[in-house]
Structure 1
């Protein structure tokens, strides 16, 4: 089969299409999947730049997000059959092969039926951002109806899903954007307050919007220095969730003085630690999101697709910044 191999860490040019053996079923719960599309996420470009979590296992196949059709099932598979259309977030961290390929093998416990209303490309754009936003807002931030939230980079992959999930929970949403095009996009998703962060002090704008109190929950999808800058925009005893690692230069004084609860979100943890129950919970999130998508309550913005052979070009585009929505490889 054809697969995009990461031959070393470095520029996008280290991604090379090669012929490798087709994977085979190993466990009785395994599914052999004919991949139709693979999502591209910032974690892919970071691993390509610095090396994977398993540097002794090279070359590697990147790509956590996938969507495809079940072609064979193990003897113990109970919930799927040949021909089922599925989507999932699994592999691609340097150990278990990822989804920049024509085939993959995955445990049935870690997948969900693809939303019927989405194409394979749209479905492949969804899993990592759905799980990240869901865990960040609902599990870490405990977002409830009637509360206010500030979501940074609302037009991005995680941000545009987070806006919708917050609105579905009954929250009021402010979000930061850089252009009028992105402002219109997030308004269509339900954002109540749009802040042009390049032209406006987002902290002051947030305080004005909340009558000087600050939001109940802030969601940082960007990282430092934005994390530190966001602390004064959160109400006393409020919550802030970040999907990036706080830097050694993070200034915690304001967060401490405001008694903020700071939470870290990394949806990759179950894969990295082999936590089967947690991976099953993430599959449950995908099932719930599939229902919301098919009911027209949740949308995935797919901005551009590339053929598998152009994975390097896709990485170049993602690293150029200011992306609206998601990029996908069609396998």
Structure 2
């Protein structure tokens, strides 16, 4: 089969189209999926440039989330049959092969039924960002109806679904963007207030929008100085959830004075640490999101679809910081 192999850590040029052995089912509980689309995420570019999470993993196939059609099932699989359409988040970290390929094999429990109302490319764009946004907003921050939430980088992959999930939950949403085009995009997603961080100070803008109170929940997808300054934008006794590790020199005095709940969101943890209960919970999240998508309450925006051989170009676009929504590869 054709696949994109990562041959070494480095720039996008280390991603090469290759002919590799087609994976085979070797466990009764596994399914084999013909991949119709694979999501491309910032974590893929970081793994490519810095190295994989597991030793002796090269050459490797990246790609955590994907969507496709089951073509074979193990002897112990009853939930699926050949021809079933699924989406999933699995592999791509250096231990199991990822979705930048024509076929993948995974445990049947990790495959979930694809939303019926969207195509494979849209479905492949969803799992990682949906799990990240859901866990951050609901599992970490316990977002409630009537609360205010700040979503940083609302036009991005995680941000654009976080806005929609927060609105579905009954929250008032403010978000930051860097262009007029992105501002129009997030407004169409339901954002109540939009801050162009290039033109105005987001802390001052939040103070004005909330009458000086700050937001109940801040969802930081940017990190660095944005995380540090978000402390001042979060209400006393509020929640500040980040996807990134705070800088070593972060000053926590104001966060402590405000009694903030600081939370970290890394949806990769169950994949890295073999936590079956957490992985089952993530499957339930995907099922719930599929329902919301089919009900018209949630949409996934794919800004560009690349053929498999153009994986390096997709990585280059992500690293340029110009992506609105998600990118996908089409094997």
**TM-score range normalised by the length of the shorter chain:** over 0.9
What is the RMSD of the two structures over their aligned residues, measured on CA atoms? 0.7
The separation in 2 between residues aligned to 1:282 and 1:243, in whole angstroms, is 17
| Residues 224 and 250 in structure 1, CA contact (< 8 A), matched pair in contact too | no
- Residues 245-264 of structure 1 deviation map (CA, whole Å, 9 limit, x = unaligned): 11212221221121111000
Give the aligned partner of residue 172 of structure 2: 172
Q: Residue 265 of structure 1 corresponds to which residue in structure 2?
A: 265
Shift of 1:119: 0.8
Q: Secondary structure at the match of 1:216?
A: strand
1:154: Cα distance to partner?
Answer: 0.4
Describe how 1:85-234 pairs up with structure 2 within 5 A. Answer: 85-234=85-234
1:327: which partner in 2?
A: 327
Report if aligned partners of 1:22, 1:103 keep a CA contact under 8 Å in 2.
yes
SS in 2 for 1:22: coil
SS of structure 2 residue aligned to 1:238: strand
Deviation, structure 1 residue 85: 0.4
Structure 2 residue matching 1:266: 3-state secondary structure: coil
- After superposition, the C-alpha distances for 1:205-250 in whole angstroms (9 at most, x for unaligned) are 1011111110000000011111001100001111000011112122
Distance in 2 (alpha carbons) for counterparts of 1:310 and 1:187: 31
8 A Cα contact 1:131 1:285, kept in partner: yes
Measure, in 2, the Cα distance between the counterparts of 1:11 and 1:190: 36
Give the Cα–Cα distance (whole angstroms) in 2 for the partners of residues 59 and 12 of structure 1.
Answer: 14
Q: Which residue of 1 aligns with 2:275?
A: 275
Which whole-Å deviations, capped at 9, do the CAs of 1:162-186 have from their partners, x for residues lacking one?
Answer: 0000001000000001111111111
Name the CA distance, whole Å, in 2 between partners of 1:322 and 1:58. 29
Matches within 5 A, 1:218-257: 218-257=218-257
The answer to whether 1:64 aligns with 2:56 is no
The normalised TM-score by structure 2 is 0.99
Per-residue deviation, 1:83: 0.2
- State how far apart, in whole Å, the 2-side matches of 1:103 and 1:23 are: 7
Q: CA deviation at 1:278?
A: 1.1
What's 2:295 paired with?
295
Question: How many residue pairs end up in the alignment?
Answer: 331
Deviations 1:41-73 (CA, angstroms, capped at 9, x unpaired)? 000000000000013121110000110100000
The TM-score normalised by the length of structure 1 is 0.99
Name the CA distance, whole Å, in 1 between partners of 2:138 and 2:287: 16
1:188 and 1:156 map into 2 onto residues whose CA distance is 14
* Structure 1 stretches lacking a partner, 5+ long: none
Matches within 5 A, 1:32-51: 32-51=32-51
Counterpart-to-counterpart distance in 2, 1:147 and 1:43: 30
Partner Cα separation in structure 1 for residue 276 and residue 74 of structure 2 = 18
Structure 2 partner of 1:13:
13
Measured in 1, the distance between the counterparts of 2:66 and 2:251 equals 38
Aligned counterparts of 2:250 and 2:121: Cα–Cα separation in 1: 38
DSSP-derived class of the 1:149 partner: strand
Distance 1:59 1:225 in 2: 35
Give me the whole-angstrom Cα distance separating, in 2, the residues matched to 1:259 and 1:34: 49
| Separation of aligned partners in 1, 2:251 and 2:75 | 54
Greater CA deviation, 134-143 or 53-62? 53-62
Aligned to 1:121, what secondary structure does the other structure show?
helix
